[in-house]
Amino acid sequence: MRSSLSSGGTDLHLELPATGSRRAALAGALRDAVRDGRLAPGTRLPPYRALAADLGVARNTVADAYAELVAEGWLTARQGSGTRVADRVVPGRPAARRATAARQAPAAAVVHNLRQGQPDATAFPRTAWVGAVRRALSAAPNDAFGPGDPRGRLELRQALADYLARVRGVRTTPANIVVCSGFAHGLRLLFGGRVLRGPLAVESYGLAFHRALLASAGVRTLPIGLDANGSRTTELPARGGPSAVLLTPAHQFPTGGPLHAERRAGVVDWARGRAGLVLEDDYDGEFRYDREPVGAVQGLDPSHVVYFGSASKSLSPAVRLGWMVLPDHLVDEVLRAKGEREAWAGVTDQLTLAEFITSGGYDKHIRRRRQIYRARRNRLVEALAAHAPHITVTGIAAGLHAVLRLPPGTEAATVEAAARAGIALDGLAAFRHPDATEATPHADGLVVGYAAPTDNGYPRALDALLRVLPAKGA
Amino acid sequence: MRSSLSSGGTDLHLELPATGSRRAALAGALRDAVRDGRLAPGTRLPPYRALAADLGVARNTVADAYAELVAEGWLTARQGSGTRVADRVVPGRPAARRATAARQAPAAAVVHNLRQGQPDATAFPRTAWVGAVRRALSAAPNDAFGPGDPRGRLELRQALADYLARVRGVRTTPANIVVCSGFAHGLRLLFGGRVLRGPLAVESYGLAFHRALLASAGVRTLPIGLDANGSRTTELPARGGPSAVLLTPAHQFPTGGPLHAERRAGVVDWARGRAGLVLEDDYDGEFRYDREPVGAVQGLDPSHVVYFGSASKSLSPAVRLGWMVLPDHLVDEVLRAKGEREAWAGVTDQLTLAEFITSGGYDKHIRRRRQIYRARRNRLVEALAAHAPHITVTGIAAGLHAVLRLPPGTEAATVEAAARAGIALDGLAAFRHPDATEATPHADGLVVGYAAPTDNGYPRALDALLRVLPAKGA
């Protein structure tokens, strides 16, 4: 069925499919015509009767289609002036955005990804995960698909309480765990949600993103020093100043050492002595290579430590699940900050991770990844020993990255040379707190994430890295 | 292998399993003993040699186990005083929290859930979803499991651009869509992220939660009036005052009418005339029962409307996925507010929803739910006509709820009677903006969510509701 509208010099060809609702087809054809500009604003449409005759449809069909488009604002109908194309329609689709096109192109030609904090994306356990989704969704009670509990699903909190006790020495109950979408979300809840207020003592090295997040919540961060025994928690004031400190005790990020045993114990004493808190970012606690993991500081005193963990390193940063283990007195306040319903963590991921943990799949995955990352670390250490023995490598007992100590003054040039060689990585300077004033033992260095490449890509990435390291005596 | 430690009057029985690492087993047994208080703070441990002999293990095994617990802070080792249990260990698990126990109990005995905004939780398409997870994860490129693009996965944005054009008349491109975790997250990004600033014009009825969220971001909300043609967008000022308005044009929430065609067109003209914005909350646009959906206002002028949608009503509020369709000039600012990486929406849900949409599973699910919810709505209308003909029901052309108009002054008592009868629902007053001053056509009313119960529970819920409605002439 075809018709040509002719109005004010505009000829319009309408063609309707042979099957289906006439009204819907006509409305769709008219809508398209208005949208793409074939029917210009102000154009008067033919009377019902005329178009109905042209198309061989009932007059009511045309009337209904016009009414629908009037209701949607495409057309206007005024007494005495018939039906017209509305003035406000802006024809055409928005032009493809140049800025976005640029954004979609890679920012630079990264050939070798040696960024810290990223597990090998090819290693996500797809098949095991799908199996866990299937089992989790078939076992879930119906209320799982109603509005979510802001604490997170009980299945997940139970699995985490058991897992963290077994693997990290965390002492807690499901009632003290609040699920979130990652460490940064946890920080936002605590500080953006005004559960805690600044100032906050932080390590002199850490992620600039976390400092920016705290700053945007109005929290001043005060760096404490760093030496061979880890962050100098002994500097924390017994009164006045910050009453909370954010630490990465198992594996200082990114410099790599563990917090010394005496400082672990001492910082808990400090928090207890002034009703303060240790915020423990256990970002890669499962990946320790040379001996049993150093347990979580949280296990020393669950009432003065907030413990944070996530699936970002163990599974993927694209799985947006994290967890906070809270002292009793903070649980209700964090839930108040989170809101009446779960607005962040999806139920499928929560149930699936719970099933993945309790079925043993999570342990198996981590065990396998630990072996692989340990081998990669060894390869890095051996390659440096063989080809760049003047470069010391530190922070290698754990985690997904190591720090290469560089000759003084060579870091910036080395990072630039790496970028030119297509290697994505960061220098230590990128992590240094802007207010850190003292000299540190980590003046010049590269943070090398050895987990990010694929198994095949890693040897080549390592070769490329060796080629950009400063020569001896540089 | 067994040993009894005897020290300072403390006898301790240690028993190690016959297999596995001796050091790990001993460390574990000691850790447990310290944790649960059997080894009290200050207790001095036996010398390596003595315990090694007792247990029949190498002396180094004991030394290593002690060292591990010292590193973890459970024990302290000082020159000359041997190894002792550290002072700061607080034995025992945190007591189960009373507040949380109370929280876990249902707040009230809800027998019949007639709350607005909740789809039937038993209707989540588990099997089809698992199938979509499987297909999506097996087809996904490896980069899906690396750090996420803050715009959201391209697969999902492409599927949404096509779907929203087809079903809601939205005109956009994947580059203009930003994935988020729901409508509230979208509002937070816009206002908390300082992309937009207040004041914001809002409808005189809406969710108090949204008003609170805006208030906490420092945004003043100014209610506009409401009449039989929908929100009185004609009241919006041509200059000064708010330059953005938040609307639910397809189905005013919760009163239920569509925004009149002239007002739809007019509000877009208003926004265009003062470089303002319409924020279109299309919270249940897919559920329209008596004719084709009213298209999105966004389709009238994509450069002056921000369109919000989510999976909360169509699938489940526990699936934390939403989407914003943005004018070109806002995309980069929203992405800046969101951050460098996806920190919210999980990749599995994103890929799965994309697959669910493109495979037709989403349409099929919505078609089926629409039939069921339409039948429930009809049943409500018929039950009222038969048993409470003095109660008018409005807002029934679309959505998951209807509004029952009550005799003046009876709303509060009816809501209370419903609560006593185990019916969860809200009165209209719960949604009224506190600054709304004028009389409205919705003075007393019940907001009845007919989608929340199960198929079996709905007839009983309806019976219970009929019993608490005010009598004629009340």
| Least confident window among B35-39, B87-91, B97-101 | B97-101
Is residue A447's pLDDT more than 60?
Answer: yes
Residue from the list B88, B169, B341 with its beta carbon closest to the beta carbon of A317: B341
Looking at residue B136, its amino acid is A
Minimal Cα–Cα distance from A108 to chain B, Å? Answer: 15
Beta carbons of B342 and A328 less than 8 Å apart: no
Q: Which residue has the higher pLDDT, B265 or A46?
A: B265
Interatomic CA distance for residues A98 and A250, integer angstroms:
45
**CB within 8 Å: A318 and B171:** no
pLDDT digits (tens, 9 = 90+) for A189-226: 999 999 999 999 999 999 999 999 999 999 999 999 99
Q: How much is the average pLDDT of A170-178?
A: 97
Q: Cα separation of A258 and A249, whole Å?
A: 6
Q: Which two tokens stand for residue A222?
A: 């005060």
Contact between chains at B94 and A297 (C-beta distance less than 8 A):
no
Contact criterion met (CB below 8 Å) for B325 and B306: yes
Q: Tokens in use for A23?
A: 């009204």
What is the model's pLDDT at position B4? 57
Confidence of residue B103 (pLDDT cuts 50, 70, 90): very low
Can you give the residue ranges of every domain in chain A? 2-100, 112-119+364-468, 125-363
Of A73, A87, A99, the CB nearest to B264: A73
So what's the pLDDT on residue A293? 67
Closest residue in A to B229 (Cα–Cα):
A71
Give contacts of A175 with chain B, Cβ < 8 Å.
96-97, 100-101, 104
How far is the C-alpha of A361 from the C-alpha of A308, rounded, in Å? 22
Q: What mean pLDDT is predicted for residues B25-52? A: 82
* Structure-model confidence comparison of residues A330 and B48, the more confident one: A330
- Smallest Cβ–Cβ distance between A171 and the set B93, B292, B318 belongs to B93
State the complex-level ipTM. Answer: 0.81
B146 — contact with chain A (CB < 8 Å)?
yes
DSSP conformation class of B470: P
Rounded mean pLDDT of chain B? Answer: 89
Instruction: Mark which residues 275-314 of B lie under 8 Å from A by CB.
Output: 291-292, 294-295, 297, 299-303
Alpha helices (H) in B36-58, listed in sequence order: 48-55
pLDDT at B397 over 80: yes
Torsion of CA B117, B123, B124, B127, to 10 degrees: -170
- With 60 as the cut, is the pLDDT of residue A333 above it? yes
Q: How confident is the model at residue B106 (pLDDT cuts 50, 70, 90)?
A: very low
The partner residue sitting opposite A133, judged by closest CB among B95, B130, B261, is B130
When pLDDT is cut at 50, 70 and 90, the band that residue B12 belongs to is low
A35, A303, A342 ranked by CB distance to B318: nearest: A342
CA pair distance A136, A161, nearest whole angstrom: 18
Closest CA–CA distance from residue B370 to any residue of chain A (Å): 18
For position A100, what pLDDT does the model report? 40
Q: Residue A155 in contact with residue A141, Cβ under 8 Å?
A: no
Between the alpha carbon of residue A171 and those of residues A121, A246, A307, A388, the distances in Å are: 31, 19, 10, 44
| Chain A closest-CA separation from residue B421 CA (Å) | 21
A4 confidence band (pLDDT: 50, 70, 90): low
CB-CB under 8 Å, A348 with B319: yes
Helices and strands: H and E segment counts in chain B: 14, 19
Q: How far apart are CA B159 and CA B381, in angstroms?
A: 36
A112-119+364-468 CATH fold: Aspartate Aminotransferase, domain 1 (3.90.1150)
Chain A residues with beta carbon closer than 8 angstroms to that of B268: 73, 88
pLDDT at A11: 55
Contact A148 B317 (CB under 8 A): yes
Question: How far, in Å, CA of A376 to CA of A113, rounded?
Answer: 14
Model's pTM, two decimal places? Answer: 0.82
Distance (Å) of CA A345 to CA A350, B74, B140:
7, 34, 21
Q: What is the CATH number of domain A125-363?
A: 3.40.640.10
Candidates 3.40.30.10, 1.10.8.100, 1.10.10.10, 3.30.1330.120; CATH matching A2-100:
1.10.10.10
Give the model's pLDDT for residue B82.
82
Residue of B nearest to A261 (CA): B71
Mean pLDDT on B164-192: 96
Nearest to A72 among B118, B182, B294 (CB): B294
Please tell me if residue B73 touches chain A, with a CB cutoff of 8 Å: yes
Whole-number average pLDDT of chain A: 89
Under the banding of pLDDT at 50, 70 and 90, the label for residue A378 is very high
Residue-level pLDDT at A68: 81
pLDDT at B75 over 90: no
Question: Region B282-307: what's the mean pLDDT?
Answer: 91
CA atoms within 13 A on the CB side of A223: 21
As a 3-state breakdown, chain A gives helix, strand, coil percent values, each rounded to 5, of: 40, 15, 40
B265 near A CB under 8 A:
yes
